[in-house]
Amino acid sequence: MTTAQALPKTPDRAIAPRRTLLATAFDLPEVRWAGLALVLFGLGGLAQLTSMPSPVWWFLYLACYAAGGWEPGLAGLQALRARTLDVDVLMIVAAIAAAAIGQVLDGALLIVIFSTSGALEAFVTRRTADSVGALLELAPDRATRVGSEGGPDRTEVDVAVLEVGDLILIRPGERIGADGVVVGGASEVDQATITGEPMPVIKETGSEVYAGTVNGTGSLVVRVGARAHESVVARIVAMVEEASETKARTQLFIEKVEQRYSVVVVVATLLIVAIPLLAGAAFRPSLLRAMTFMIVASPCAVVLATMPPLLAAIANAGRHGVLIKSAVAMENLRTVEVVAFDKTGTLTHGSPVVVDVVALTDLEADDALAAAAAAEQHSEHPIARAVVAAARANAVPIAGATEFHAAPGRGVAARIAGRTVQVGSPMLLDDLTGAESASAQARVIDLEKAGHTTIVVAIDGIPVAVVALSDRLRGPAPATVARLARGGARPVLLTGDHLLAAQNVARQVGITDARGGLLPDGKADAVAMLQRSGRVMLVGDGINDAPAMAAADVAVAMGRGGSDLAVETADVILVRDDITAIPTTIGLARRAHGVVKVNIVFAACVIFALVTWDFVGHLPLPLGVAGHEGSTVAVGLNGLRLLRRSVWRSARDA
């Protein structure tokens, strides 16, 4: 079987539109040939079961050979030309040998299994490459270059021609075209695609911005700090591609094992033919013994010893909202020793909620909340939506507002019942004085130390309340973390959000190791460090998580809220965003591994016994086929036990 290929390099620009899953699949020749082989195999089996004339089902099985076997056959011939033997050669020879002695069904089954595996490999590689390419579309193709910070000279240029030091104008609502530093203006920038922060971040002079992030309501002048191919987005693409190549190289060990096994079987087959002939034995009995050996030494039972348990476990997990992309991923799940969680959208829902309203004057907290909601009701900012939602949830009446005004980086102001209400970031306090302002500043510091985001509410220039907001924690998060710890996996929190917010969430869910302020490459580096103490699972949902997911031993993505790249990079997808399924899936993988070990021992013993019998005695062909097929059926049925729903329940309750 050919090993996994490295992720194809994405072009610099001009990414083609993404295709549907079905279109992508049938666009691949490997999928079309494997599908045809499976159909022919099914028709052949139907013809044989219904007692149709043997030439009919023989023709169908041989057509299955041709459809599914020509590519591995060609690969095997190319390997032989390179003076190597691999399992491609062995499987094709075994299939031909099976047909030569009348067991064409066995050979066709081998062909179907082999071609289907190759098709799945090609499909996953193509989809991942498409998602990596789509990431490049985050950054705009064009940017507005200006001659000076406030100058009138403006030129539309390709982002590819921007040089370090150029000044570019970012208008409200535009995507930022290059990494750089703000030298003029103020605005709020949604940079969740890069850092994973749930709320827009205030950007002023001296603030760093990233290509592909979305500007808010203000205008910015940015000094370019890196060329297009050196931006954070471009580095994410490069890291995913490089990680894919590294994983592909690790498959070289498997190739060596395949080659050695193939050499042993081929040499043994030739000796079984040659030695009796040299001793004067008849050709036909010698050839029959050699073919019998080829059948009983065929890895069918060993292949089925491994795949049915893993595939059954994958199917069982799929019924419960967990998509596991490959048997390799299922095997790797059992070895997880460290589970690294992203914060926003993974342990939390990714949207802020009001958690406290601290009154600073004799004004009631509900009245302060009502004033804030009235001022914020016309804003689309996530914090504004959270304030309005909190007021409605508490049945606080929201009055009408006039003279609404939004100041980028500061907040909003409006006239409500003849009074001026301001709601904004703590920087609003810089323009206010008095004892209430000092009290508000102290409250802000306390709340931010606790990991909350804060806003200040002022009426007629006097601070009346500080509102604390936090990202909503997923309800099952603490129990999930506790189950992972009981199962021997160390939980860790990695996030692009600030450290105080990370520590706050970590305390709530029971994680002692929390690391904040991590850009995508920082998360990947953190995963690499964690891998020194064991195999690492990374659970995330955003584009910014993709490099760390590619570097991790197992990557898990949130299916509903996860970005396309995160979903495609991941080995496991939580379709319902149910993180409680993570420890259950790990437990299921460990059970599957136990069945695999039992199957391999049984299959190996049967093969050893049959091969030994064929070497030292005379193994009748019908008995050899019966032993071979019997062991294959036995390990297959044993593996399929993992399809039972009770297996998932027992893994969940363990």
Q: Is the dihedral of CA 335, 339, 342, 347 positive or negative?
A: positive
Amino acid at site 343: K
Tell me the CA distances in angstroms from 295 to 59, 170, 416, 600, 604, one per residue in order. 21, 69, 87, 18, 14
351, 471 contact by CB (below 8 A): yes
DSSP codes of every residue in 290-316: HHHHHHHTSTHHHHHHHHHHHHHHHHH
3 state SS of 618 = coil
Q: How many domains does the chain have?
A: 5
Amino acid at site 435: A
Confidence of residue 250 (pLDDT cuts 50, 70, 90): very low
Residue 586 has pLDDT above 90, yes or no: yes
Domain containing 369 equals 351-472
Neighbours of 483 (CB within 10 A): 20
Which pLDDT belongs to residue 511? 94
Q: How far apart are CA 442 and CA 436, in angstroms?
A: 10
Tell whether 400 and 464 lie within a shared domain: yes
Residue 293 domain-assigned? no
Residue from 130, 342, 553, 577 carrying the catalytic annotation: 342
Q: How far apart are CA 642 and CA 646, in angstroms?
A: 9
HSE-CB for 102 with a 13 A CA cutoff: 5
List the Cα angle 172/176/181 in 5-degree steps: 105
Which pLDDT belongs to residue 254? 42
Q: What is the mean pLDDT of residues 173-200?
A: 82
| Domain final residue pick, 585, 609, 633 | 585
DSSP codes of every residue in 124-140: HHHHHHHHHHHHGGGS-
Tell whether 84 and 20 lie within a shared domain: yes
pTM over 0.75: no
> Hunting for tokens 């749930």 — which residue is that?
198
Tell whether 468 and 478 lie within a shared domain: no
Confidence of residue 486 (pLDDT cuts 50, 70, 90): very high
Which pLDDT belongs to residue 247? 44
DSSP, res 571: S
Which pLDDT belongs to residue 133? 60
Which pLDDT belongs to residue 489? 93
Which pLDDT belongs to residue 613? 87
Burial (CB < 10 A; 0-12, 13-18, 19+), residue 37, is buried
Ramachandran class of 578: left when φ > 0, alpha when ψ lies in -120 to 50, beta otherwise = beta
Residue 342 annotated in active site? yes
Residue 291 domain-assigned? no
Tell whether 457 and 467 lie within a shared domain: yes
Indicate which CATH number applies to the domain containing 397: 3.40.1110.10
Neighbours of 442 (CB within 10 A): 12
Which pLDDT belongs to residue 127? 60
Please, which contacts does 592-595 make with residues 24 or more away whose CB atoms are closer than 8 Å?
A: 592/309, 592/310, 592/312, 592/313, 592/330, 592/334, 592/642, 593/309, 593/331, 593/334, 595/309, 595/638, 595/639, 595/641, 595/642
Tell whether 425 and 495 lie within a shared domain: no
Residue 495 domain-assigned? yes
Tell whether 256 and 111 lie within a shared domain: yes
Residue 202 domain-assigned? yes
Treating both helix axes as pointing N-terminal to C-terminal, what angle do 54-81 and 87-100 enclose, rounded to 10 degrees? 150
Tell whether 451 and 485 lie within a shared domain: no
Residue 592 has pLDDT above 60, yes or no: yes
User: Which of 244, 243, 242, 238 minimizes the C-alpha distance to 4?
Assistant: 244
Neighbours of 240 (CB within 10 A): 27
> Hunting for tokens 């949604």 — which residue is that?
190
Residue 384 has pLDDT above 80, yes or no: yes
DSSP, res 344: I
List phi, psi (to 5°) of 294.
-60, -35
pLDDT digits over 322-336, tens only?
Answer: 888 877 888 889 999
| Stronger pLDDT, 173 or 307, i.e. the higher one | 173
Q: What is the mean pLDDT of residues 402-425?
A: 84
Residue 646 has pLDDT above 90, yes or no: no
Residue 286 domain-assigned? no
Burial (CB < 10 A; 0-12, 13-18, 19+), residue 234, is buried
Indicate which CATH number applies to the domain containing 217: 2.70.150.10
Which pLDDT belongs to residue 1? 47
| Stronger pLDDT, 640 or 475, i.e. the higher one | 475
Residue 124 has pLDDT above 70, yes or no: no
Return mean pLDDT, the chain. 80
Tell whether 267 and 343 lie within a shared domain: no
Query: Quick one: how many helices (H) and strands (E) in the chain?
Result: 22, 22
Tell whether 620 and 599 lie within a shared domain: yes
Q: Which range, 81-90, 131-140, 632-641, is most confident?
A: 632-641
pLDDT digits over 420-450, tens only?
Answer: 999 988 888 877 766 778 888 889 888 888 8
| Domain final residue pick, 210, 230, 250 | 230
Tell whether 11 and 100 lie within a shared domain: yes
Q: How far apart are CA 106 and CA 453, in angstroms?
A: 65
Residue 47 domain-assigned? yes
Confidence of residue 484 (pLDDT cuts 50, 70, 90): very high
Tell whether 339 and 309 lie within a shared domain: no
Q: How far apart are CA 577 and CA 599, in angstroms?
A: 33
91, 110 contact by CB (below 8 A): yes
| Stronger pLDDT, 188 or 24, i.e. the higher one | 188
Give the pairing type, strands 402-407 and 411-416: antiparallel
Residue 292 domain-assigned? no
Which pLDDT belongs to residue 643? 79
> Hunting for tokens 């535009």 — which residue is that?
174
| Domain final residue pick, 557, 585, 613 | 585
Which pLDDT belongs to residue 268? 82
Q: How far apart are CA 310 and CA 599, in angstroms?
A: 12
Q: Which range, 54-68, 196-210, 301-315, is most confident?
A: 54-68
Residue 294 domain-assigned? no
Q: Which of 83-87, 418-422, 514-518, 563-567 has the lowest mean pLDDT?
A: 83-87
Which pLDDT belongs to residue 583? 94
User: Which of 329, 312, 321 minimizes the C-alpha distance to 591?
Assistant: 312
Which pLDDT belongs to residue 372? 93
Q: Which of 18-22, 38-42, 72-76, 565-569 has the lowest mean pLDDT?
A: 18-22
Neighbours of 519 (CB within 10 A): 18
3 state SS of 335 = coil
Tell whether 480 and 423 lie within a shared domain: no
